[in-house]
Structures are given as C-alpha cells and as structure tokens.
Chains A and B, each alone.
Chain A
Amino acid sequence: METAVRRPDEAIEAPPERATPLAPPDRRPAASPLDIVSGEIVVEDLNVYYGEFRAVRDVSLTIPPRAVTAIIGPSGCGKSTFLRTLNRMHELTPGARVEGVVTLDGIDIYRPDVDPVQLRRVVGMVFQRPNPFPTMSIYDNVTAGLRLTGRHKRSELDEVVERSLRRSALWDEVKDKLRQPGTSLSGGQQQRLCIARALSVDPEVILMDEPASALDPSATLRVEELIAELRRQYTIVIVTHNMQQASRVSDRTAFFTMGEERAGYLVEADDTVRIFTNPAEQLTEDYISGRFG
C-alpha cells in the first residue's frame, strides 16, 4: 500500500499560455507559475464492458489540462459511457467494468486506494437534463456538496454560493431569491445552477454529458458562453452530438464511432480546428461532412 502522500511523479510543465498570472477577483486563482497545472487526464487502452458486452474498445487519449475537449460521434458510439469512466460513475450500472488505465495527474483513478467518492469531488459532472434537487432552495442546491463534508459555517457557505453562482454566470439573476426552490428557475438557469453546484466543491475537471441538449437555443448560448469562461480554470470534457457546438466551444475534439460488434472506439483526437478542417481519417471526414453508410 503506497499510502504516503506525495506529489505526482511526473510533474507536468505548465504550458505558458495557459498560466494566467492574474485572475479577476470572482475567478478562481489560476495556477501560479511554480505550481503544477493540474487536471490532465491520460487514458490508455481503455475497454468498458457491460457484462459480456464490450461498449468501448481500446481507447487511448490524452485530455489536456485547463482546456475544453469535446467528444463527438454518432449515438451509441460509447461517448457517454467513456465520459462516465472518467469519474467512475459507470460503476452505478450493475455489471459494468473497465480494463485499462486512466490517470489524473499521474494517479491511476482505478488504483485500489482511490475512493470513487473522493474522485468525484475532483472530477465533477453536469448531466444531460438539469437535475436540481427539487426539495432544496437555490442556496441549498449549491451548498449540497459542501454540507456533505460537514462544512456548515454560514459565512463560508455564503461565500461559496456567491463565488459559484458568479462563476456560472447566474448570480445576478438569482441573488435576490436564493431561498426559492431550485426548480422555480427556467431550464437554462437550472442547468447553470447545476454547473454552479458542480463548481462549489472546487473540482479540477468537469465532465459535461450533452449539457445543452435539453435547452432552447438562447439558453444553449448562455451555457456555451459559460464554458468559454470556465475553460482557463478547469479541465472540461464535453460530450455533444452537436458538431457546431463542439467546434464553437472546444480546443480539442475526439471523434468516436461504433465499430465491430457495436463497440465504440476512438477514431482520432486532435485540435478542434484540424478535426473540422483537415481530419486525418476518412471516417472523421465522412462524419463531419454528413456522409454515412
């Protein structure tokens, strides 16, 4: 058992253009130049099974820190399944298991001493449909994650609520009605509330599973703007079936498709500009340009 608390073995040099030395006061301080920019995910030879069925096959992918990585591909290609293996949410499905290695800043997240409960505080998640807790107020929705760890000090909670709601660009709309139920908000506001809730526990990585698919165009735009705001402070992985969205919000894009025996696999991953203008693979080209069959 390697229980010793240690820094990651392979310290990643911060790419200079990412390390913003000065952050606005309502922003989370970006990493200082001497610190490690954390939140890099490296996936090697990942296979996901549901019982006998292999849903995802042999995926190797590096997700850079403090950037947005989009995952696109036809439905059923395993992109949501893949996303869920990054914070072990797939373990909720009975019979689901993974083979391969997923590291977060060099730590294998499937190591026996990694607690999935702790992992999910570092790797947060936003879901397809807004899912605020209906019996809780806006304030309580945002603080739900903090209260789990017994942090009840009012001033501290107040501060986190304001900071999280400002980061999720919702503060101005709800600051006067924090005691109202979270479900009283519009769909788009609810989704930003869920993003605020995910931010409140101070994660490094945020996984987004088609976060705008249940929203109308103007609410979708707000969420996309929000992603752009958050991209320098968090590692964001977004699954989307909307290629335009992927091209608008992401720095990198990974294209998945379904292969033999309905197992999803990664075709290629590259800078978003390159994927949408000059992909290396014919399959990607076909998908981007709408050819199939």
Chain B
Amino acid sequence: MTSATVTAAARFGRAASRVPDVVFRSGSGVLAWVAVGILGLLAALLVANSGQALAKFGISFLTGTTWDPIAGIYGALPFIIGTIASSFIAIVLATPIGLLTAIFLAELAPRRVAIPLTFTIELLAAIPSVVFGLWGVFVLGPFLSRTVEAWVVDTLGWIPIFAGPPFGVGLFTAGVILTLMILPTIVAISRDMITAVPDSQREAMLALGATRWEMITNAVLPYARSGIIGAVILGLGRALGETMAVTMVIGNRPQIPQSIFDSSQTIASQIATTFNEASIGLQTSALISLGLVLLVITMTLNVIARLLVWRVAGPQGTS
C-alpha cells in the first residue's frame, strides 16, 4: 500500500520539467493544498470568533450549567453531557450489532448473501440526515415510546436514569437514530479490517481444533483489534457531530438530562436551533465556542481513528 504512494511520487518526478508541466504541476498542487488550507482556516476562524466568549468565561464555559442568553451567562455543560450521552447510547447499541454484522459479512455469509446485504447497508449510509429526522419524529419516536420505552419505564423506572415518562422524543430516540446512522460506518470499516487478516491466522487456529466461532474470537478479532477500535471511534466521531436527525428528535431542552428518556440538547443541535436568532456579539461568540469544543473532540477522535485504521490497512485503505 505504501509502495503505491512511493511510486506515485516518482511517477512524473523527473519527466515533468518543461514549463507547461511545471505550471500544471504547481496549479494542481495549489488545489490539493486547498484541502489543508480549508482545515487550517476553519480552525483559525472558529478560534478567532470564539475569543469573546472564551475570554469572558474561561474554563467556566465548559463547566457552567446555565445557558441564558438574556442574562448573558453561557455554560456549555448541558450540551456536552447531552452530546456524550446520546453518542454513548449509539455506541453501546451500534458496536455489538455492527461488529457481528461485519463478522457475518466477512467470515460467514456466502457471497450471494453478503453482496446484497453489503449493498443495503451502504444505501443506509446514503439516506440524508434530515430524512432520518423526519422518520424519527413521526414514526420511530412514537413507536419507541409505545414499545421499548414504555416497557423499560414499567420495569426499570425506579432507577432514576430509566425514569419516565416516555415521550418518544429525547435522548433515547436520538441515540437509536444515531445508531442507525453510524452502523454503516462501523460495519464497512470493521469488515475491511477483518478481511485484511491473513488466512494463515485462520488456518493456524482451525488446525488447533477450533470451531469457526472460536477461530473468529481467538485469532481474527485480536489480529484486527486496533482497526476495529478505529472503526468504532470513527462511528463515535460521526455520532458526536451529527446534527439534523438529532435536532429533530432530541427535544431541544438546554438542561442536564436526568433520565435517558429526558429531552436534551447536543452541541450540534444547540447551534442548529439557536444560531440564526442569536444576536451578533457575545451570543454568537458563545455558540461558535461550542462549535470549537465539538471541533476539538471530533478532530482528536478522527486523528486517533485514522491512525488506528491506517495501521491495519495502510493509508490507501478505507476512506
């Protein structure tokens, strides 16, 4: 994989020396660096525009529990908690389902089953977020409130975090929607990671008298471990930053949730619902600071995940 990169560099290394070549080469070079420039500029502009709020509140911006534009007090903790809680629900649900699916597709399913299933899951990733949101509000939310949520509240409601009432709008519904949205990511990348495990590892385990499943858990998964962790982190990154579907089903209440069925608000949904009405100045700056927090979290996760995935599959691997 790396060799492709090396030869790529040398492909036109010496041949491209005449004037039109140099022009073409530097022109395309500038455009390539646009990607880097966008990333740098994005970070710089977010930092610059969040200065006002961060200077005023300092660390209490992250720890404050009150978000009150009228009083001019901005504490982001409710949104940070809402973001983490909804993504946590999604990861808890999506990791086992996604990993089992990847195992089925890569190790167990015959081709004529694996191919259409993979295709279906790829299409799931193509559904626009806002369509998920619409379906979430009118179909999934009411369905969950009648079934899963009602049942959990009835049986486990005495535990505070499972307390009702189940509205069908709130953290839990958001978590389920996020699960559906990150499943394709986790499935696709985990499957690639599992496929990258050399057959010699499978044979070694089978020759010791392992069953298929023992071969998978004892040889294949440990070998692909870091790549699978990378896949889950990439899914987590998507969940943390996902905006529209969450905004439509989470209930938009800027307070720290007490139960998984409470209405809540994430960083992204808070920006989406209030940015346009915000008065330019401190309030906009506070919202952009929220964006900066989200940027730091998702960028860190993304970098870690990419490095883990590259370690297994090489830099040409899954994008």
**Residues in A lying within 8 Å of B, measured CB to CB:** 87, 89, 92, 94, 117-121, 124-125, 127, 129, 131-136, 144-145, 147-148, 194, 197-198, 201
Is A124 a contact partner of B222 (Cβ separation < 8 A)?
Answer: no
Residue of B nearest to A136 (CB): B222
Interface Cβ pair total, 8 Å cutoff = 66
Q: Is the CB of B208 within 8 A of A120?
A: yes
A-B contact pairs, 28 of them (CB 8 A): A87-B207, A89-B207, A92-B199, A92-B202, A117-B210, A118-B209, A119-B209, A120-B207, A120-B209, A121-B209, A125-B207, A131-B200, A131-B204, A133-B205, A133-B218, A133-B222, A135-B222, A135-B225, A136-B222, A144-B205, A145-B208, A147-B218, A148-B208, A148-B209, A148-B210, A194-B204, A197-B208, A198-B208
Please give, as numbers and ranges, the residues of chain A lying within 8 Å of B203 by CB-CB distance.
89, 92, 125, 127, 131
Those of B239-278 within 8 Å (CB) of chain A: none
Identify the closest chain A residue to B222 (Cβ): A135
B88 CB to closest chain A CB (Å) equals 27
- B184-209 residues at the A interface, CB under 8 angstroms: 198-209
Q: Do A145 and B209 have beta carbons less than 8 Å apart?
A: yes
Q: Are A133 and B208 in contact (CB under 8 A)?
A: no
Q: Are B218 and A127 closer than 8 Å at their CB atoms?
A: no
A132–B223 Cα distance when bound, in Å, is: 11
A118 contact set on B, CB distance < 8 A: 209
Report how far A125 CA is from B203 CA in the complex, Å. 9
Query: Which residues on the A side are within 8 Å of B207 (C-beta)?
Result: 87, 89, 120, 124-125, 127, 198
Q: Which of A129, A132, A133, A198 has the most CB of B within 10 A?
A: A133
Contacts of B218 in A (CB 8 A): 133, 144, 147-148
Q: Besides the contacts A87-B207, A119-B209, A135-B225, what 15 more A-B pairs have beta carbons closer than 8 Å? A: A94-B110, A117-B209, A120-B207, A127-B200, A129-B200, A131-B198, A131-B200, A132-B204, A133-B219, A135-B222, A135-B223, A136-B222, A144-B218, A148-B208, A194-B204
How far is A59 from B203 in the complex, measured between Cα atoms in Å? 24
User: Is B211 at the interface (CB under 8 A from chain A)?
Assistant: yes
Q: Is B21 an interface position by the 8 A CB rule? A: no
Flag if B208 contacts A127 (CB, 8 Å). Answer: no
In the assembly, what is the distance between CA of A134 and CA of B225, in Å?
A: 11
* Interface of B, helix, strand, loop or mixed by DSSP: helix
Complex CA distance for A133 and B209, rounded to whole angstroms: 15
Interface residues on B, range: 20 to 34
Question: Which B residue's beta carbon lies closest to that of A135?
Answer: B222
Nearest Cβ in chain B — how far from A143, in angstroms?
10
Shortest Cβ distance from A132 into B: residue: B204
Closest to A88 in B: B206
Q: How many angstroms between the C-alpha atoms of A124 and B210 in the bound complex? A: 11
Given A133-B223, A135-B223, A144:B200 Cβ within 8 A:
no
Which of B200, B202, B209, B214 neighbours the largest number of chain A CB atoms within 10 Å of its CB? B209
Docked CA distance A87–B205 (Å): 13
Neighbour of B211 across the interface among A89, A117, A124, A132, CB < 8 A: A117
* Shortest beta-carbon distance from B113 to chain A in Å: 13
C-alpha spacing A260/B66, complex, angstroms:
84
**Closest residue to B211 on the A side, CB-wise?**
A117
| Chain B nearest Cβ from A217, distance in angstroms | 23
Chain A nearest Cβ from B193, distance in angstroms: 14
Give the CA-CA distance A124 to B202 in the complex, in Å.
14
Known: A129-B200, A131-B203. A144 touches B223 (CB 8 A): no
Give the residues in chain A near B206, CB-CB below 8 Å: 89, 92, 120
Report whether B219 and A201 are in contact in the complex, using a CB–CB cutoff of 8 Å: no
Central interface residue in B206, B211, B214, B225, by most chain A CB within 10 Å: B206
Residues of B within 8 A of A198 (CB): 207-208
Closest chain A CB from B150 CB (angstroms): 41
Query: How long is the Cα–Cα vector from A145 to B210 in the complex, in angstroms?
Result: 7
A136 to B204, CA, bound (A): 13
Q: Counting chain A CB atoms within 10 Å of each CB, which of B206, B207, B208 scores highest?
A: B207
Give 1 or 0 for each of B74-116: 1 = CB within 8 Å of chain A CB: 0000000000000000000000000000000000001000000
B residues in contact with A119, CB < 8 Å = 209
B208 touching A144 by the CB < 8 A rule?
Answer: yes
Alpha-carbon gap, A160 to B211, bound state (A): 22
Could you tell me the distance between the alpha carbons of A197 and B110 in the complex, rounded to whole angstroms? 31
- Name B209's closest neighbour in chain A (CB-CB): A121
Q: What residue in chain B is nearest A120 (Cβ atoms)?
A: B209
Chain A residues within an 8 Å CB radius of B205: 133, 144
